[in-house]
Chains A and B, each alone.
Chain A
Amino acid sequence: ETGVTQSPTHLIKTRGQQVTLRCSSQSGHNTVSWYQQALGQGPQFIFQYYREEENGRGNFPPRFSGLQFPNYSSELNVNALELDDSALYLCASSLGQGRQETQYFGPGTRLLVL
């Protein structure tokens, strides 16, 4: 158990819809990262939030957005869903910004876009 939870566990949407995924970080962890893991691949970095501000983004379009709240929870929002957005979405929390800091992953939300 990493102390990181995500909801929902599974979700089915249709193309063009919008979706919100939620994550609850470990208490005290001020950094949350989101990753997309397509079937058969390693996770890909979407973005990171530190103290409620986005402080870095991977190669994902602006229709992927997020929020981080003071209570260590966060959201990933995806607008105008496309079929290729079908994937496992993982959030990871960590304490601090050092490269050596461990990122603790939640169980993920599996999104299917039809």
Chain B
Amino acid sequence: AQSVTQLGSHVSVSEGALVLLRCNYSSSVPPYLFWYVQYPNQGLQLLLKYTSAATLVKGINGFEAEFKKSETSFHLTKPSAHMSDAAEYFCAVAIFSSGSARQLTFGSGTQLTVLP
């Protein structure tokens, strides 16, 4: 079975500090991995995705993630946090479920707080 685990349900950083949100995956086949962000009372917005083309993936709003097969990780980083980055972040892996459906399996999320 394929799954993702997000380490740390809450992360706090100071404005201007490095953001590091951790995601580890479990997959028996080459994974397709995604990071989504959810602002309060909104849906999910795609930050970036890994589809095996390059191990370092750059996304929107200055975020990037590196796929490390040896560590089964896909951690999300941003060099300098901004107050507007405060939100919940979800890591997800795309799998084939029953029938021919392709579903996203999400981690439990990490709430990022940015302190002034």
Contacts and interface: CB of A to CB of B under 8 A. Distances in A.
A62 B26 CA distance: 29
A103 B104 contact: yes
Interface of B: 32, 34, 36, 41-46, 49, 51, 90, 92, 94-109
User: Interface extent on A, as a size class?
Assistant: 35 or more
Contacts of A104: 46
A66 interface: no
Contacts of A48: 97, 101-103
A103 B92 CA distance: 11
Contact of B49 (A6, A33, A97, A102): A102
A96 to B, nearest CB: 9
Given A42-B90, A100-B51, A56 B46 contact: no
Given A45-B103, A48-B102, A56-B101, A99 B32 contact: yes
